[in-house]
């Protein structure tokens, strides 16, 4: 995967890389609207020897990857994991129905 100036990438799962400068991108979950803080996932920077991913939405050490493609796969995995273990952060169209607010059935 090679991304040049002013280019970005998008996956079917909603992950997007937004170019912000020389060798740097913001990884965002494109299924959230602009301005929603949950949209920002990580800051990605291509360095001389590796690609660094600084996670924004969770407390974790920066990830280091040999290639941008490896970093992309880690970002995709993270988006999928967030949606599976934290359904309350999923966009409304992907979130499971919350049955706690449902009216009780009358017998």
- Does residue 43 belong to any structural domain of this protein? yes
- Does residue 64 belong to any structural domain of this protein? yes
pTM: 0.69
Average the pLDDT over 42-55 and give the result. 94
Residue 42 belongs to domain spanning:
9-93
Q: Which of 91, 90, 74 is nearest to 82 (CA)?
A: 90
- The Cα-based distances of 42 to 6, 7, 14, 29, 50 in angstroms read 18, 17, 14, 10, 16
Band of residue 79 on the pLDDT scale cut at 50, 70, 90 = confident
- Does residue 1 belong to any structural domain of this protein? no
- Does residue 24 belong to any structural domain of this protein? yes
């Amino acid at each position: 995967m090679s991304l040049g100036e002013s280019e970005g990438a998008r996956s079917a799962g909603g992950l997007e890389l937004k170019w912000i400068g020389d060798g740097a991108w913001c990884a965002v979950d494109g299924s959230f609207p602009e301005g929603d803080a949950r949209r920002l996932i990580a800051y990605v920077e291509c360095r001389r020897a590796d690609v660094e991913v600084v996670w924004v939405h969770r407390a974790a050490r920066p990830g280091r990857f040999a290639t941008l493609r490896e970093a992309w796969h880690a970002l995709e995995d993270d988006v999928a994991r967030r949606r599976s273990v934290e359904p309350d952060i999923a966009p409304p169209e992907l979130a499971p129905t919350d049955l706690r607010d449902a009216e009780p059935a009358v017998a």
